[in-house]
Amino acid sequence: MYVGRLAPSPTGYLHLGNARTFLVTWLRARQAGGTLIMRMEDLNYPRVQQETVRESYEDLRWLGLDWDYGPPDSQPLKSVAPHGSYVQSERSDVYRRYLDKLAAQDLVYPCTCTRKDILAALDAPHDGEEPRYPNTCRGRWNSRAEAQAQSGRNAALRMRVEPGESTFVDLFHGPHTVDLYESSGDFVVSTRLDQLPSYHLAVVSDDIEMGVTEVVRGADLLPTTHRHLLLYRAFGMAPPNYYHLPLMRDTAGRRLAKRDGDTRIAHLRKQGIPAERVLGWLAYTLGQQSTPSDLTVESLQAQFDPTRIPRNEIHLTTADRTHLGLAERQD
């Protein structure tokens, strides 16, 4: 049974790139006759904007997307959600249980390093990318409490990564191989300051609990998938299939971001742009139309052919902005 998931993070408003990914998720689930869940990934507390939770639901409904299970306020649902809360901030007991499973296998250890400490140890710039962890705290402390008492710092928990290649076959990109030990090293599964689960632990735990069989997301998360596969192996569970879409970029070649106001779905919706126009343009970027003609999500579902999705990244052109009723970008 196919189970897919829509998983917005309320750290900002959904933009065209997010909508494109969620549209493909919806299309693949509906064409498979499967189940689609809505999960609100709101663990990044400092960046969570509560008003964007409601806007995310409204944006997706405006485009014509629906889901079968999710938070009670997300839309009329088919039935009571079978997996408890679909809001990550309400699922702490689940994450604690999965963290305990890792600890029982001695797969995690406390770490008091800050990002500054890691960069200083590496003595090299990283242009904003996550640096490889140099194993500074591996084997240093016996427990989180000991680490905090002796260092005077809060301690994160890191997952042990051993040398060796990890390979999986992405449904869009094909085989993908990474040596996690060389590329990123041991990674955080529980945060240092507030002891929340990391993104990696939370999404893997939730996908296992909710029976997710396919994850559709952006190609920027391809390397991250190998961390998730390591967690699946630790939990003794089979991973879902992964489908990583090429990214969407603006006219200057920058990846679309939630701070870019006029590419937000809420902005288009509130400007009176028809949802059919946005859907038609998204279908055009997905290779489903030769020109960006207006269409409904139902008609797109009937003609959707995933083999026609372009392999390259999508760049928002001046013509695209004009078609969508956006002002010319001043860079």
pLDDT in tens, 109-150: 999 998 887 777 655 443 446 789 999 999 999 999 999 999
- 65-69, 117-121, 154-158, 284-288 — which is least confidently predicted? 117-121
Question: Comparing C-alpha atoms, which of 294, 319, 289 is closest to residue 305?
Answer: 289
- 181-185, 249-253, 287-291 — which is least confidently predicted? 249-253
- Angstrom distance (rounded) from CA 64 to CA 206: 25
Average pLDDT in the chain: 91
Mean pLDDT of 34-47: 88
In the DSSP assignment, the letter for residue 247 is P
Question: Comparing C-alpha atoms, which of 294, 284, 290, 272 is closest to residue 316?
Answer: 284
Domain residue limits at 218: 90-245
Q: Which residue in the block uniquely carries the two structure tokens 């990474």?
A: 178
In the DSSP assignment, the letter for residue 52 is H
pLDDT tens column, 271-309: 999 999 999 999 999 999 999 999 999 999 999 999 999
Residue 98 lies in a domain: yes
List the CATH number of the domain containing 126. Answer: 3.40.50.620
Contacts with 216 (C-beta within 8 Å, 6 or more apart), sequence order: 4, 21, 24, 25, 28, 243, 244, 245
pLDDT confidence band for 162 (50 / 70 / 90): very high
pLDDT given for residue 166 in this prediction = 96
Residue 35 lies in a domain: no
Considering its fold, how many domains does the chain have in total?
A: 1
Residue 227 lies in a domain: yes
What DSSP assignment string belongs to 306-329?
Answer: GGGS-SSPEE--HHHHHHTTPPPP
Residue 296 lies in a domain: no
Confidence check: pLDDT of 1 > 60: yes
pLDDT given for residue 124 in this prediction = 42
Residue 171 lies in a domain: yes
Residue 103 lies in a domain: yes
Residue 290 lies in a domain: no
pLDDT given for residue 73 in this prediction = 83
pLDDT confidence band for 195 (50 / 70 / 90): confident
pLDDT given for residue 125 in this prediction = 41
pLDDT given for residue 328 in this prediction = 61
- Angstrom distance (rounded) from CA 58 to CA 49: 15
pLDDT given for residue 258 in this prediction = 63
pLDDT given for residue 304 in this prediction = 97
- 198-212, 233-247, 256-270 — which is least confidently predicted? 256-270
pLDDT given for residue 79 in this prediction = 59
pLDDT given for residue 116 in this prediction = 83
Which stretch of DSSP H or E encloses residue 110? strand 108-111
Confidence check: pLDDT of 78 > 50: yes
pLDDT confidence band for 82 (50 / 70 / 90): confident
Residue 54 lies in a domain: no
pLDDT given for residue 81 in this prediction = 63
